[in-house]
Amino acid sequence: MSATELPPALAEIRDDFLAITKQERLQLLLEFSRDLPALPERLADHPELLERVEECQSPVFIITEVDEAGHVHLHATAPQEAPTTRGFASILAQGLDGLTVDDFFAVPDDFPFELGLTEAVSPLRLRGMVGMIGRAKRQVRAAIADS
Amino acid sequence: MSVARDDSPAFAGYAHPERLVSTEWLAEHLGDEGLVVVESDEDVLLYETGHIPGAVKVDWHTELNDPVTRDYVDGAGFAKLVGGKGISRDSTVVIYGDKTNWWAAYALWVFTLFGHEDVRLLDGGRAKWEAEGREYTTEPTTREAVDYPVVERDDSAVRAFKEDVLAHFGNPLIDVRSPEEYSGERTTAPAYPEESALRAGHIPTAQSVPWGKAVAENGTFKPVGELDAIYRDGAGLQAGDDVIAYCRIGERSSHTWFVLTHLLGFEGVRNYDGSWTEWGSAVRVPIVTGAEPGEAPVK
């Protein structure tokens, strides 16, 4: 697949996945699932601020915020027994963090299919991650409209 | 059967108690010659986070399905898959998984399509093993590959296709989805919107018996008396009935297929794996909306 222009952090994640074997990619996704950043306290205490991503089979909740400097931050939480979903959320939380709004919107919705996980994880499951990106973009659109 | 069965009194009332093992039994028999433990989950990474020692993983989506055609692997594909995991034709296979064994039951049903004789479910699945604090390992299981014979898949006995369902009217159908999917309020399971259909509702005359009714709070199957009350008294199934069960893609109905076939002893139960994702998108098949089963179409 021809490489899309991705923001540096996300491009690095993609390149890391593509540099290893299919089986190793599952392991890397597992590492991402372990590294899903914890919610900041102000959100952890207010789960109602997070939105459920219906496209995902497991309960995953995300909130995407735009800070005063115009940078995007995605926070997510998903249960330990849903490591695949946690891994997807973690890639997004780490790969999109701090982007400007414009760079954030430039990330293609279907970029998960560039990670080389299609065979190892299945297209159906990857669609859950596509759904997360769609949800995040909607949240950012709403955040901008409110500001 | 190559490994002794679990004689737990809890299973005694079931028609085929040899199809279940308890967590206690499995803990005692881990490592027995002839036993292969298989984990089959919805989440493709869950096994990697920790699994029962010695268990191999079989993934429903990437391994049991054909990657191109909407169908299961063929005889050669199945032989390669399970032989590669060290499963012989005479192995005792015990399957467990997440989501109260949805996917484990699905895998068991696929093993049945290939006539694998001794395949059992771990009652209570992964959640019960975990709740009891039993051993997990992240150590990858390496089993030597063995030759598994190429056995042609037999779709006639336990699998139904759309045409079979159309010819089945007048005989019992069981819809195991959520009440909202059955009535047509929604086309997908609450958390599965990507597996959608174009129309909502249920197949005419199907009784609504959500799959989870067969499961007790601790994740194990309910005792036979309670299952009788649900399926015989409630849904009206009678001895000798030919039954077709369906859900959305055939995994939850595999669970009900297991209950009807192995726990209650119905012999003519088939799983319609095309299920609602096929029926709800097919042209000119009859559909009923609302909470009532509805009438069979005039033939």
Residues B18-25 have a mean pLDDT of 98
Question: If pLDDT is split at 50, 70 and 90, which confidence band does B14 have?
Answer: very high
Model confidence at A56, pLDDT cuts 50, 70, 90, reads low
Q: Please give the share of chain A, as a percent, with pLDDT higher than 70.
A: 95
Residues B51 and B111 in one domain: yes
Same domain assignment for residues B78 and B126: yes
* CB pair distance less than 8 Å for B194 and A128: yes
Q: Residue B163: give its domain's CATH number.
A: 3.40.250.10
The pLDDT score that the predictor gives to residue A45 is 83
- pLDDT band, residue A48 (cuts 50/70/90): confident
| B113/B78 Cα distance (integer angstroms) | 10
Task: Please indicate, yes or no, whether residues B126 and B187 belong to a single structural domain of this protein.
Answer: no
Which residue in this structure is represented by tokens 């598994």?
Answer: B148
Give contacts of B193 with chain A, Cβ < 8 Å: 54-55
| Whether residue B99 sits in one domain with residue B62 | yes
Residue A66's contacts (CB-CB under 8 Å, 6 or more residues apart) are A72, A73, A101, A140, A143, A144, A147
B41 with B116, same domain: the answer is: yes
Q: Which chain A positions have a beta carbon within 8 Å of B192's beta carbon?
A: 57
Residues of A in contact with B195 (CB under 8 A): 124
State whether A83 and B43 contact (CB < 8 Å): yes
Spans of all domains in chain A: 8-146
pTM: 0.91
Residue B255 located in a structural domain = yes
Containing domain of residue B105, as a range?
A: 9-132
Rounded Cα gap, residues B4 and B92, in angstroms: 9
**Mean pLDDT along residues A114-118:** 93
Whether B143 is covered by a domain: the verdict is no
**Which ipTM did the prediction report?**
0.82
Measured N-to-C along each axis, helices A8-18 and A83-96 cross at an angle, to the nearest 10 degrees, of 140
Counted domains in chain B: 2
A120 in contact with B, Cβ within 8 Å: yes
Total number of residues shown for chain A: 147
Picking from A59, A84, A124, the nearest residue to B43 by CB comes out as A84
Q: Quick one: B123 and B164 in the same domain?
A: no
Assign A54 a pLDDT band (cuts: 50, 70, 90): low
Residue B69's contacts (CB-CB under 8 Å, 6 or more residues apart) are none
pLDDT above 90: residue A58: no
Q: Kindly tell me the burial class for residue B16, based on how many C-beta atoms sit within 10 Å of its own C-beta (0-12, 13-18, 19 or more).
A: middle
Given this model, what pLDDT does residue B167 score?
97
**Is B166 inside a domain boundary?**
yes
Instruction: Assign domain A8-146 to a CATH class.
Output: alpha beta
